[in-house]
Structure 1
Amino acid sequence: MKSLLIVALQCCVAALVCAAPVHLPDDADFEQTLEQAQGLVEKILRSIPSVQKDQTLDPSSQTGDLQLMVKTLGIPPAPTFKAISTHFTLEVCLQRMSLGLQLHHSLLGALTPASSSATKHLQADLRDLQALVNKMQGQSQLSVTPKSEEPGFTLNISGSYEVQVATHLALLQLRTFSHDLVRSLRNIRTTLPGTQG
């Protein structure tokens, strides 16, 4: 009888843990870092057209299946996001942000000319945003994903035209990823303690 009661109590505790609300930091510093990250993502979105202007490819000439071209050229997909929940935690969200930023920084480095000042500024903004994401991980006492030297991808590019197409597609993907970041950061903000209602 005693062991049956212990088992019942353990089941109740497990059910309560599973139903526990999403834990988010209640901290003014975290919120300030979040605001800085939002501002930097907006800056990145404004910078992307400047980098596109440096490219010689005419985007209107690209009428083929963009997804097929992305696969053919070997451009890896950006991480995806969901609303913060017990299944998609703040830790997972920030890790995906970090991975996506590393990926796009490496893609830009591999595809665009180093002499482009617009590209240099965009890469610097991606690095700064990466630092802010790492800071949010630290402020929320989450484990920081170690920054890899180079995300694992191999581009299937043999000529300058393919480089131009791949750069165009990478910038389009970065723009979509950045819009996802904006939505995700807003979602984090609305789920912070004291901001509901």
Structure 2
Amino acid sequence: MHLFLELHLALCVLSLVSPAPIQEPWKDMQDPEFQEAVESGHSLIRKILDDITELHNLWIPKGLSLDKKDSSKLKFLKTHLNLPEAPAIKPLSDSFTLGACLSQIATGLKLHQTLLTVVSKLSPAKSEMVDGLLCDIRDLLLQVRKMQDLKNLLSKPEPQPVSESQLEETLAPKLSDEYKKHVAAHLTLLQLRDFSQEVSRTFRSMTVPSNSGN
């Protein structure tokens, strides 16, 4: 009887300390190379978020803040400019798979590359002010491509949301004065900041604890 109780207690203890099995959709993310790519991507997105704040401080007048709520005038201009928006990134699930998630991230990064390039060209900013941020976006896109490649998810490139020439042709007539140009730059950085925060949360959710695969 005592032996049976001791065995039962031992099994209970083991069930408490044994790691839970990896559930979908995280079970495909356990390998060290993919986790290393996730960490590299997370480091880049943190750098991008820092760059956005620094660039906004250098480029945008103080009346336009990343932290203030939009005024009615700014909301009107946002509607008027109608900047293309990045796709939403939903939490990973059986219906929103790793492949879909990485594809959405890549699409959003390409969109913001185009937006930032065109807006900086049309707005009163020196090109070198945005070069660093564009390089970081490019590096993160390459990292996402690596993650896709590691999981054989890169079947074909995502469609380009909008071309630089199309966006410039659409946007240039709307930026009739310096204030509107600054608003376009502000809204671009604000949208990139929000998108980057979504990407950061997604990368955190992709991180598998080191003992989970044991």
Range into which the TM-score falls when normalised by the shorter chain:
0.7 to 0.9
Secondary structure of the residue aligned to 2:83 is coil
| Whole-angstrom distance in 2 between the partners of 1:157 and 1:134 | 35
1:115-194 correspondence runs (5 A): 115-146=126-157, 151-152=162-163, 153=167, 154-155=170-171, 157-159=174-176, 160-190=178-208
| Whole-angstrom distance in 2 between the partners of 1:52 and 1:93 | 28
Q: Return closer, same or farther for 1:46/1:142 CA change in 2, 3 Å cut-off.
A: same
Q: What RMSD over aligned residues (CA atoms) do the two structures have, in Å? A: 2.8
Aligned residue-pair number: 177
* Matching of residue 77 in structure 1 with residue 85 in structure 2: yes
| Whole-angstrom distance in 2 between the partners of 1:144 and 1:101 | 18
Secondary structure of the residue aligned to 1:91 is helix
| Whole-angstrom distance in 1 between the partners of 2:46 and 2:117 | 21
* Matching of residue 59 in structure 1 with residue 64 in structure 2: yes
Residues 49-102 of structure 1, C-alpha deviation per residue, up to 9 Å, x if partnerless?
A: 221123243316962265543232021122111221110000110001001100
Structure 2 gaps, min length 5: 1-22
Structure 1 gaps, min length 5: 1-19
| Whole-angstrom distance in 1 between the partners of 2:197 and 2:92 | 16
Q: TM-score, normalised by structure 1?
A: 0.78
> What is the aligned counterpart of 1:44 among 48, 62, 66?
48
Q: Is the contact made by 1:37 and 1:132 (CA closer than 8 Å) also made in structure 2?
A: yes
Q: Max radius of gyration: which structure?
A: 2
Q: TM-score, normalised by structure 2?
A: 0.72
State the match for 1:10 in structure 2.
none
